[in-house]
Structures are given as structure tokens and as C-alpha cells.
Structure 1
């Protein structure tokens, strides 16, 4: 009976060469598969993270469209109106909306907010529309705007300091 490790080959060197070549071919295909799987897994993990993991920090909320003035706060719209001295009334506060109810219409404050009165107030939608109209029709003076912009960008994170030249 022949030993167990014996093949029907002519020499031992041939049998060792065949077995080492077979082992080498399986390892190269295995490593190739491993690399492809790891690349696919990495891509899957990136997609998974991109879709499902979000940072819900309050500062990371999406910014409003800069031209959509209805998204801005009442305070911002009032400041814009006051800065550019727009000829429109202030918008209604929460109390103004409450005065619009059936009972609130009989009060002195509600009567004062009617259209023909001098202190009448308007809705946020109307104020935003007047601010948007002014913004779109406002002529920008480049000689004033560009130096201010460059100064703000250059000194964005610097604190105010005075330098005395002697």
C-alpha cells in the first residue's frame, strides 16, 4: 500500500509545485473577493451614514432662502423697515391677532388697528411683501458696499482694537 501523501506523479518537486500553485491561485482570488467586498461594504456604510445619521444640533437647521422674506422673523422685518424708513405700518403682534377675534373687535385697540387709522397694523405677509419689493428695487452703490464687505470678511473673527501711531 502506498503512503497517504503519495501522488501518481513522477517526482516530488512536481507535486509540490502543483500544490503550491493551486494554493496561490486560491489566495489571489480570495483576496480579490475580500477587497471587492470591503469596498462594497465601505460604500454601503457611507450611504447608510449619509441617509440615516444626522446631526440635530440647533445651529444645523437649514438656512432659509435669502429672497423668501416670509421666512424671516417679525423682528428682522421690523428692523429692515425701520432702517430703510419704508412707508408701511408695523406688522401685527400676537396681541393684534388676538384682537382680530369676535370679542376683540369691540375693544379700543382693535378699533385703532383698522385700516384708515394712523397707527393701523398690517399682517406679516404684507410687511414681507413690502420689504421684498423694496429689496428688489433698491439700487446698491458699489463704492459703499464692496469696501464694507471686504472689511467684514477680513475682520470676521478679530476683535475690535485700536492702534495708535506715534
Structure 2
């Protein structure tokens, strides 16, 4: 086995690049700079495409990232919230229709004991059969009541400031 010199046995990564010096000094220097700028442009374009893809397809980044409900869109509020509002301000409204009332108002439901006893109860109370309203009508009644309330600016401002100041704090008891 013939002995190799140190220069022959070194790997490519350890030897100085022949291409590096030739690229720096030779006629190919303009092509490398143009290839770098084109690579930068491709990277920026890929980044923009990735960001647009993420904006389109990612809807949530965590448990607190939920689509917010418009506070004055009463029709999108759930029935329990509307009922709590009615109870809080003692509004005299019939209950909104529910799935149970839809079932009882069907042809089969009218023959059940529950429907007949409900009809008797309503006749005694003098309410008639039209004692329920749709959720849309119910939401409109609640909204009209809400819009008719007088605003107390001092209470609103102090409540807002308190909420902002104590936004991320929880009530904690400390014992000493």
C-alpha cells in the first residue's frame, strides 16, 4: 500500500474549497449573487404563501381564542342567557318554544297525556294554546327591553375600569 500524503487523505470538508476561490474571483460571481437574490425572493414568497394558508385554515390557537359573540346580537345568544335576563329584570314574557313543545305540537304529540294535561292547565289559567313564542320573537322582546333601559354612565365607567384593572386576576384568599 503506497503511502498517501496529507493533502490526498483529507476529506473534502477539511480541504479549502477550490470552487470557493474560483467563484469569488472568476466570471461566475454575478450568477451567485443573482441566485442568492432569487433564493431570497423564493423564500419570501413561500413564507407569504404559508402565512396565508395558516390564516385560512387555523381557527384557534388556544382555549381562550373563541369567536366572540356580538353583545347586541340577541338572536345568537343561547336560550339560557335570555331566560336569565328575563328573570333578572322580571319581564313578563312567555317562555320561548323548545324541542319538547315542537314534539308535543306534532300529530303524535297531541295524543299524549302530557299534551292533554297541558291543554287543561292552560284552559284553567285562561292562557289559551298560544302561550309560547319563537326564540326570534323572544330575543326581539328582550332586545327592545334592553334598549329601553336608562344608562347610568357612572356605573358603566366604574364597572369598565374595574374589569380592565382586574382582568387577569382571580379571587384568592390569603391566610396569615
TM-score (norm 1): 0.70
Structure 1 counterpart of 2:150? 139
Q: Secondary structure of the residue that 1:65 maps to in structure 2? A: coil
Matched, 1:75 2:98: no
Matched, 1:50 2:55: yes
Number of paired residues? 146
> Contact (CA 8 Å) 1:90, 1:121: kept in 2 or not?
yes
Structure 2 counterpart of 1:150? 161
5+ long unaligned stretches in structure 2: 1-21
- Residues 136 and 150 from structure 1, CA distance in 2 versus in 1: closer, same or farther, beyond 3 angstroms? same
5+ long unaligned stretches in structure 1: 1-16
TM-score (norm 2): 0.66
1:48-74 Cα offsets, whole Å, 9 max, x none, are: 222234448776453333222121111
Q: Out of 103-112 and 55-64, give the one that drifted further.
A: 55-64
| Root mean square deviation, CA, Å | 3.3
> Contact (CA 8 Å) 1:96, 1:110: kept in 2 or not?
no
The correspondence for 1:99, drawn from 99, 104, 108, is: 104
Q: Distance in 2 between matches of 1:140 and 1:43?
A: 47
> Contact (CA 8 Å) 1:69, 1:132: kept in 2 or not?
yes
> Contact (CA 8 Å) 2:86, 2:142: kept in 1 or not?
yes
Q: Distance in 2 between matches of 1:111 and 1:70?
A: 32
1:13-70 Cα offsets, whole Å, 9 max, x none, are: xxxx9x9251222221121111111111211222222223444877645333322212
Structure 1 counterpart of 2:29? 24
- Residues 61 and 151 from structure 1, CA distance in 2 versus in 1: closer, same or farther, beyond 3 angstroms? closer
